[in-house]
Amino acid sequence: MAKLHQWDYLFVIGLLFASLDAYNIGANDVANSWATSVASKSLTLRQASFLAAIFEFLGAVLAGSHVTSTIKNGIIGLDAFNDNAGVQLLTFTCAITASASWLMIATRKSWPVSTTYSIISALAGAGVAVSGWDSVQWGWNNGKGLAAIFGGMAIAPALAGGFGAVVFGITKYAVLVRKNSIQKALYISPVYFFTIAVVLTMSIVYKGAPQLNLDDLPQVTIALAIVLTGLVIALLSILFWLPFVHAKVVKKDYTIRWYHFFYGPLLWRRAAPELPSGGGHVPDYRILTSESSETVVSPVYSGLSITEPDLESSLAISPQDTLDTVRPLDATHEAQGGQTKDLKSVPDIEGPWILPRNLWIIVRYRLPKILTHGTSIDIHALQTHGQDEAQQARLRKVHEQSTQYSNETEHLYSFLQVMTACTNSFAHGSNDTANAIGPFAVIYYVWSTGMATEKNTDTPVWQFALLGGILVIGLLTYGYNCMSVLGNRLTLLSPARGMSAELGSSITVLLASQYGIPVSTTMCIVGSTGGVGIMSGGLRAVNWRAFGWIYLGWIITVPVAAVLSGCLLGIILNAPHW
């Protein structure tokens, strides 16, 4: 059948709001996934954004199909539309409009809500409006109904918290609290590399795009591929990663650079130069103030500005540590990502902006600043913006329940956290991108074919690529807004804790994706962070007030998105017409 050109405007509206939904998934959910990496200082915001852009996009394109089918077909029964293609087109357009609108409000207000529950609730509300309560799959529906999905509000955080606590418990008692923890960490690290590689390989094999047909291979072949991939990564870590970190951490070779990684075993014989008196061979991952004479000024407690003497003392500890330092804000300097830019070096615009000189100033100075603003924010300073002294004191008490371990040992886990963050990001791309692609896939199918969608229809790869790209833009430009309310605001984080939280979350998300259940990545990473905090220092090591506000946001999302979507569709369907 021909395209429904009489409803081209509905297709355009659906495309625009699906794009807005994908943008807010990037700015809200993806930011949540990477908040632990930035908060633990394993990655700068710019590095996290670059890696997220790659793995979110790959996860969406390679592994998003199963969950997308749940969003398309698992919430509203297809018989509710009575084969009326126009009504189905309108229903999914209203649902994505309501979901995107609520997510934009939540992201603007720095509320880390569940983008999964937003679209699910919007679809449920639209289903009730189009055909009554019986049109919605309220039951379990083989893991695809509302009962299964909303059950994840309790199951997902608890399961992720359990995985996070187990991973950090192993790390804590096998390495961190042991004598000569650096040596223990070097011994056990290949096991972590093997485990992380296995998790990522399983996600690709079992969640690969349909045209790859990887899950149709014999089970023995799949098992061998997964195990061999893990073994290869573990072997490469022994050949290249171990000598690299041994030179940097054990030998304290502050001259080592990233490209020395490829020297591999040759680094065992590399002689390290004498370490300067100021140290600086590894970054300083500490958050709490040191008990020694040296003072660590932490933006988590010091706010957006510090005095000049504090600045000098913090710089004296670690020359390489730029994340711990918040520069004074005045008329000539601006703090961006721990680096200071002299605004006097930027020429002023004089006269009309259209003049060639002013156009050059805009292109050369102003435009790059605007485009990179979202990746230049100092998250550690932003996390205390608006907090009073009582709130900071309460957060300090939470952090003091957890032990800060050796910077050298934590530095080893910063490499592992990068891997877990990438795994978690791939899992997020495979799961939560479907929240925007699922409704748009129905909108495009109905509009392009003129028929109501069938139970099983393929989702074109270009849709994953398009909305996956917009998701990345959301992270790059506005992800910092939600990232600022997570991280160290929930519990004290470090590379070892962050690695454990992210690995526990990624395992939970991938297991849910395997069974086609759209769990919330936000719930998984928050729950996993809580589990790590409890294992780290007990119940008092977790900021339960912050957890309560986040959970309240998850609950509020359900009625707001459902009512907004249902009312919008009900008004349109029953409005007077000629």
- Residue 141 is predicted with a pLDDT of 63
How far is Cα 374 from Cα 473, in angstroms, rounded to an integer? 10
Kindly report, residue by residue over 56-86, the tens digit of the pLDDT.
888 777 766 655 565 666 677 667 777 788 8
User: At residue 341, does pLDDT exceed 50?
Assistant: no
Name the residue range of residue 318's domain. 299-400
My answer on whether 477 and 382 are in the same domain is: no
* φ/ψ (deg, to 5) at 334: -140, 130
Residues 375 and 409 in one domain: no
Residues 159 and 61 in one domain: yes
The string of DSSP letters for 226-279 reads: HHHHHHHHHHHIIIIIHHHHIIIIIS--TT--GGGGGGGGGGGGPPPPPPPTT-
What does the pLDDT average to over 169-179?
Answer: 92
Domain shared by 336 and 430, yes or no: no
Regarding whether 468 and 374 lie in a shared domain, the answer is no
107-116, 362-371, 424-433, 451-460: which has the highest mean pLDDT?
Answer: 107-116
Inside any domain, residue 273:
no
- Tokens encoding 528: 């996993």
Q: Which residue type occupies 198?
A: V
Tell me if 324 is assigned to some domain.
Answer: yes
Residue 199's nearest CA partner among 443, 394, 420, 465 is 420
In a shared domain, residues 381 and 519: no
- Asked, for residue 250, whether it belongs to a domain, the answer is no
Residue 437 resides in a domain: yes
In-domain check, residue 494: yes
Identify the residue whose tokens are 């293609």.
Answer: 85
Query: CA–CA separation, 319 vs 330, rounded Å?
Result: 23
Average pLDDT over residues 85-107: 92
Examine the domain organization and report whether 417 and 563 are in the same domain. yes
Half-sphere exposure of 189 (CA within 13 A, CB side): 30
On whether both 374 and 467 belong to a single domain, the answer is no
| Boundary residue ending a domain (367, 385, 400) | 400
Q: Where a domain ends, among 379, 400, 421?
A: 400
- 354 and 421 housed in the same domain: no
Q: What local confidence, expressed as pLDDT, does residue 2 receive?
A: 60
**How many structural domains are present in the chain?**
2
Q: State the burial class of residue 69 (Cβ atoms within 10 Å of its Cβ: 0-12, 13-18, 19+).
A: buried
What span, in angstroms and rounded, lies between the C-alpha atoms of 75 and 12? 23
Handedness of CA 243, 248, 252, 257 (dihedral sign): positive
* Tens digit of each residue's pLDDT (9 = 90 or more) over 233-288: 999 999 999 999 999 888 888 888 888 999 999 999 888 788 776 566 788 888 76
